[in-house]
Structure 1
Amino acid sequence: MINYVTLGVSDLVKAKAFYGELLADVGAKVLVDMDRISFIGKSMAAPMLAVCVPYNQAPANPGNGNMVSFAPGSKAAVDTLYHKAIALGASCDGAPGQRIPDVFYGAYVKDADGNKLCFSFFG
């Protein structure tokens, strides 16, 4: 259903390094690398994350209410990605925890450009 989600970034090299390292443990890597945009994912046939310098050359900034959620497969994997993101320079926007009893477990961070990310597990 979703082909890719794009996050505007101010430094493409740093963003590729952050997201490439962050998502490597779930099998993602840079699949397409162009001048102002890179696509990161498991395959071109699966949903991807694109990081890009905005086309209009205006400063990158996160939209209020926009967020990308990654599903690593377990509560332990949510914790692992959260702590890895923090170690890679992200800031905490909600420590790992059960948000909805027996339904939703999640953790939230913001990357260097302020883009909000969620690591989540349903179950």
Structure 2
Amino acid sequence: MIGYVTLGTQDLARASAFYDALFASIGAKRQWESERSAAWGMDDSSPALGVIKPFDGQPATVGNGTMVALVMPSREAVDAFYAKAIKLGAADEGKPGPRGSSGYYGAYFRDPDGNKIAAYHD
């Protein structure tokens, strides 16, 4: 159902470098880019996550309660993805671990623009 999700950025070059390195760690690559935006995905037919400079020219802001959750193939992949994000300058929002009693295993961080990202395996 979801084709792509975009997150606002003030600094497209910085955000692109962060996501290039982060998504390379799981085999995703840049699917498209323009002077205002870039997006990454596993292939052209899969959902993508992008960063964009807001079209209205106003500053990019973080949505309160907004989070993008990225599914990972294993708990180890969650751990590795979270560690890579932190190494690239992301801020911790919840170290990897089980959440609840259903088998959900997740980690949370904020990208350099403050956007909240979850990596999970269930």
Please confirm whether the aligned pair reaches a TM-score higher than 0.5, indicating the same fold: yes
Deviation for aligned residue 1:103: 2.0
**RMSD value, Cα:** 0.9
Query: Any unmatched runs of 5+ in structure 1?
Result: none
Question: For the residues of structure 1 that align with 2:85 and 2:50, how far apart are their CA atoms?
Answer: 17
Q: Tell me the TM-score normalised to structure 2 length.
A: 0.96
1:94 equivalent in alignment to 2:94: yes
Contact 1:16 1:30 (C-alpha < 8 Å) held by counterparts: no
Deviation for aligned residue 1:4: 0.2
28-37 or 95-104, larger mean C-alpha shift = 95-104
Counterpart in 1 of 2:54? Answer: 54
Over 6 Å off, 4+ runs: none
Q: Cα deviation per residue 1:5-58 (whole Å; 9 max; x = unaligned)?
A: 110011111111111111112221111110101111112210000110110111
SS in 1 for 2:59: coil
Contact 1:72 1:121 (C-alpha < 8 Å) held by counterparts: yes
Contact 2:8 2:62 (C-alpha < 8 Å) held by counterparts: yes
Identity among equivalent pairs (%): 45
Question: For the residues of structure 2 that align with 1:102 and 1:42, how far apart are their CA atoms?
Answer: 27
Q: Tell me the TM-score normalised to structure 1 length.
A: 0.95
Question: For the residues of structure 2 that align with 1:39 and 1:110, how far apart are their CA atoms?
Answer: 17
Query: How many residues are matched?
Result: 122
Query: Any unmatched runs of 5+ in structure 2?
Result: none
1:3 equivalent in alignment to 2:3: yes
Contact 2:37 2:51 (C-alpha < 8 Å) held by counterparts: yes
